[in-house]
Amino acid sequence: MLRVATYNIRKCVGLDWVRRPERILSVIGELRADVVALQEADRRFGGRPATLPMDLLIQRTGLKAVTLGDGTRSSGHHGNAILVREDAVIHRVTPLDLPSLEPRGALIADLSIDGAMLRVAGVHLGLRATDRARQARALVRALEDARDPLPTIVLGDVNEWTPLGAAGAEMCKAFQPSRPLASFHTSVPVAPLDRIFVGPGVSLGAVRVHRSITARRASDHLPLYAEVSLADAATAVARSAEAGEGASSNT
């Protein structure tokens, strides 16, 4: 069993409009997650440097950042970052640009945790419904076309205020969604903007919003987390193939 989470950290700016990365680090540590996808993890301008101090990340949270190794000061791609347990093995990292009038993207990482292989995608979709639908389609296509099919988990801020929405409808063609839970706005949570989706080979367990005192101050989003269990990669591939054959026979 693994715990995965998604958290829009609003560039470490809290409800008091003060940038305090230490609050975000505290919240991430409270989650006790094996994998955390962050959105708005980088500053918007000036080379998009990371807003979290990477040198303190492992010390404060037990997690390390999945990096692109491109020499930039960014913690990911278009503000998307993925944190994993210190003992996780990172096999491949893929940045994905998504169609939009504004810069949007996803970060995809192939990992081994406790000997189990999985693929994690962190994403932050756009504000317009038409953009979100196109972006979700592009993400699903990229994950379906990826080499070496693996149990896959998508974590992110999909910017959907309704239980399904344009993006959810596209994602649900290939993934099982978590139940929508209100994670925004932190002061009065009413919107299920943050979601978790799982593919073949992943079983979704309990899904919760993290509502600690610090989390209610650190960002305008509350973290969403879930317990998941993984089938082995061979079983996941077989299930994926069976799903594809079933879809073909119905067309």
Distance CA(159)–CA(129), nearest Å, equals 9
Largest CA distance in the chain: 56
Q: Is the pLDDT of residue 8 over 70?
A: yes
Q: 41: which DSSP letter?
A: -
- pLDDT reading at 238 higher than 70: no
**DSSP conformation class of 40:** S
Average pLDDT over residues 68-81: 74
For the cut 80, the answer to whether the pLDDT of residue 170 exceeds it is yes
Handedness of CA 145, 151, 155, 158 (dihedral sign): positive
Q: Is the pLDDT of residue 76 over 70?
A: yes
Report the candidate in 186, 197, 184 with the shortest Cα–Cα distance to residue 228. 197
For the entire predicted model, the pTM comes to: 0.90
Would you give the distance in Å from CA 12 to the centre of its chain?
A: 17
Residue bearing tokens 């980088």: 42
What fold, for 2-249? Deoxyribonuclease I; Chain A (3.60.10)
Per DSSP, the three-state class of 73 is coil
